């Protein structure tokens, strides 16, 4: 087995070994596993780290028949590209190893419904791994987690309020969310967060009614005004809830007024935006994924949720070179032309070995993500990428708003909608914020004033 090199500068660069262990003077037991005969990293007592992790997996989960859920997962972990990380995963008191051990000891089948009963932060990695191994079917986690959030919120309500909030959530909120998912095929984390926040706000409202000894039937305008004085948020969610209840005769028809949203904050100047963009494109000290995501955010204003979902299939190589000349935000959308330096960053992500590589290899049928996540078969989450950007001084919302207001000032709303994949209504709103609606009026005003100033020359009559 080759373990050493004759190159004198072997420590300074990657060199292919040319000497076997005996010729290099290394004792045999220092590099060959006494159990499997392999040459992986030595662990202890003459065995390699691969054999050691197999022993720990056997002690943690026992022996299971081939083809069972436990056997498939154990074999995949035993062949992990990072055996020491598997050892750390096994000792984590709040990770998937503990959940799997509890389920196997109790003889409970591992299903999505069972995993929903555990903390989502502890079960997500185990769930994603089992889905990647085809042990569990694929599903949209955000849309499915709404049911779990509803159960958790309703558990803290009184029985009469619990049934009311559950009816509203089932027939209004969840139904609308599922219809959106069926129509678009997507339900993002932002949509999940917005829906769960609305549920929490409505639960707080009915709890406020209970604290003031008021039922929904007894609700009057004076009570609503008092609630408005006590709180300064949750108005749209509660207004929708009361409108739904009034239409079904569960509450009187009341008026709930609240100030409109002031709109997005536009506190980043063009100079600041271009400075941040230049840093993303030229600062080699920043991680490549942070530089690429920040450049896409500052240059095109693409939602971060869409940036983390980009795959190699979104890149455009129509010019015949090995470097992408553009990308599309969704299949069927026109390609957005990108500068060459951004193309180099994007193509570099394909070959970058992420420090967040999953413990097991991804399923070959999974998309080739440009921003891979910790778990197999998935991309990095929106929250994780937002934290990475913030750690390097890039604020997501501020950067995106600055990019969109600049683009809306140069591009018509239909072009903005088609290129960036946003809704037509959103594109029109951004165009209005950029002042594009006033351009036609200003041009017409200038033409009218110019016509008023024009003098009409009349023929001079001959003098007599």
CA 101, CA 141: separation in Å to the nearest integer? 23
In the chain, where the domains are located = 1-30, 32-132, 141-247, 271-438
Reply yes or no on whether the pLDDT at 273 is more than 90: yes
pLDDT above 90: residue 399: yes
Question: What is the distance between the alpha carbons of residues 24 and 19, in angstroms, rounded to a whole number?
Answer: 6
249-263, 356-370, 428-442, 446-460: range with highest mean pLDDT? 249-263
* Residues 199-222, mean pLDDT to the nearest whole number: 88
Euclidean distance between CA atoms 288 and 294, whole angstroms: 10
Assess whether pLDDT exceeds 90 at residue 278. Answer: yes
**What's the pLDDT at 376?**
62
Between 218 and 25, where is the model more confident? Answer: 218
Q: Which residue has the higher pLDDT, 454 or 195?
A: 195
Distance between CA 375 and CA 113 in Å, rounded? 20
CA nearest to 204, candidates 254, 253, 238: 238
Among 50-59, 138-147, 168-177, whose mean pLDDT is lowest? Answer: 138-147
d(CA 68, CA 2): 38
Res. 25: pLDDT tops 80: no
CA distance 305 to 193: 13
403 and 336 in contact (C-beta within 8 Å)?
A: no
Above pLDDT 90, what percent of the chain? 17
User: How large a percentage of the chain has pLDDT more than 70?
Assistant: 81
pLDDT of residue 187: 84
Higher pLDDT, 100 or 1: 100
Q: Which residue has the tokens 């994924």?
A: 289
Indicate the pLDDT class of residue 446, thresholds 50, 70 and 90.
low
**Once rounded to an integer, what is the mean pLDDT over residues 8-26?**
47
Say yes or no to pLDDT of 166 above 80.
yes
Can you spell out the DSSP letters for 83-113?
Answer: HHHHHHHHH-TTSHHHHHHHHHHHT----HH
233: left (phi over 0), alpha (psi -120 to 50) or beta: beta
Q: What is the pLDDT of residues 323-348, one digit of tens each?
A: 888 888 877 778 888 888 998 998 88
Residue 8: pLDDT band with limits 50, 70, 90: very low
Question: pLDDT-derived band of residue 261, with 50, 70 and 90 as boundaries?
Answer: low
CA angle 224/230/235 to nearest 5° reads 60
Q: 367 and 136 in contact (C-beta within 8 Å)?
A: no
Asked if residue 239 has pLDDT above 50, the reply is yes
Q: What is the value of pTM for the model shown?
A: 0.68
pLDDT at 156 over 80: yes
What is the model's pLDDT at position 280?
Answer: 94
What whole-number distance in Å separates Cα of residue 141 and Cα of residue 191?
A: 12
Q: Give 44's strand partners.
A: 47
CATH class of 271-438: mainly alpha
Q: Is 254 within 8 Å of 220 (Cβ atoms)?
A: yes
On the question of pLDDT at 1 being above 80, the answer is no
pLDDT of residue 229: 80
Tokens 């005004």 sit on residue: 225
Report the pLDDT averaged over residues 302-311. 88
CA separation for the pair 28, 43 (Å, rounded): 14
More confident residue, 69 or 16: 69
pLDDT given at position 290: 93
Mean per-residue pLDDT, 29-42 = 76
CA 406/CA 268 separation, integer angstroms: 11
d(Cα 300, Cα 336) in Å, to the nearest integer?
9
Q: Would you state the pLDDT for residue 23?
A: 63
Average pLDDT, the chain: 80
pLDDT at 421: 80
Q: What is the pLDDT of residue 68?
A: 87
Tokens standing for residue 318 = 């129509």
Residue 41, SS3 per DSSP: coil
Q: What tens digit of pLDDT does each residue of 95-108 get?
A: 888 999 999 889 89
- In this model, does residue 420 exceed pLDDT 80? yes
Q: What is the pLDDT of residue 452?
A: 53
């Amino acid at each position: 087995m080759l373990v050493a090199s004759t190159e004198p500068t072997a420590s300074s660069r990657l060199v292919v070994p040319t000497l076997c262990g005996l010729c290099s003077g290394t004792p045999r037991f220092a590099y060959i596993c006494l159990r499997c005969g392999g040459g992986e990293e030595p662990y202890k007592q003459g065995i390699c780290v691969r054999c050691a992790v197999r022993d720990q997996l056997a002690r943690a989960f026992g022996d299971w028949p081939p083809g069972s859920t436990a056997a498939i997962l154990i074999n995949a972990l035993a062949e992990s590209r990072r055996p020491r990380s598997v050892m750390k995963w096994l000792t984590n008191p709040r990770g998937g190893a503990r959940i799997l051990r509890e389920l196997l000891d109790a003889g409970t089948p591992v299903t999505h419904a069972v995993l929903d009963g555990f903390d989502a932060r502890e079960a997500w990695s185990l769930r994603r791994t089992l889905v990647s191994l085809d042990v569990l079917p694929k599903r949209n986690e955000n849309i499915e987690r709404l049911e779990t959030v509803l159960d958790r919120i309703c558990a803290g309500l009184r029985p009469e309020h619990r049934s009311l909030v559950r009816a509203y959530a089932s027939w209004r909120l969840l139904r609308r969310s599922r219809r959106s998912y069926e129509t678009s095929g997507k339900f993002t984390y932002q949509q999940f967060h917005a829906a769960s926040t609305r549920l929490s706000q409505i639960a707080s409202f009915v709890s406020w009614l209970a604290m003031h000894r008021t039922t929904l039937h007894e609700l009057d305008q004076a009570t609503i005004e008092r609630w408005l004085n006590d709180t300064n948020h949750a108005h749209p969610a509660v207004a929708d809830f009361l409108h739904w209840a009034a239409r079904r005769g569960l509450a009187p028809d009341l008026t709930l007024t609240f100030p409109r949203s002031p709109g997005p904050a536009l506190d980043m100047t063009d100079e600041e935006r271009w400075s941040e963009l230049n840093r993303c494109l030229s600062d080699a000290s920043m991680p490549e994924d942070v530089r690429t995501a920040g450049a896409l955010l500052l240059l095109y204003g693409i939602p971060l949720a869409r940036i983390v979902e980009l795959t190699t299939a979104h890149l455009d190589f129509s010019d015949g070179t090995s470097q992408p000349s553009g990308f599309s935000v969704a299949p069927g959308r026109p390609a957005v032309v990108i500068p060459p330096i951004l193309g180099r960053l994007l193509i570099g992500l394909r070959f970058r070995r992420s420090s967040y590589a999953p413990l097991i290899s991804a399923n070959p049928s999974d998309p080739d993500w440009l921003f891979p996540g910790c778990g197999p078969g998935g991309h990095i989450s929106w929250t994780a990428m937002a934290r990475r950007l913030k750690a390097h001084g890039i604020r997501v919302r501020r950067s995106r708003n600055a990019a969109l207001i600049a683009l809306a000032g140069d591009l018509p709303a239909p072009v903005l909608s088609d290129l960036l994949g946003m809704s037509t209504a959103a594109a029109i709103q951004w165009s209005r914020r950029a002042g594009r609606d006033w351009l036609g009026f200003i041009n017409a005003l200038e033409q009218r004033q110019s016509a008023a100033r024009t003098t009409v020359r009349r023929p001079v009559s001959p003098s007599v």
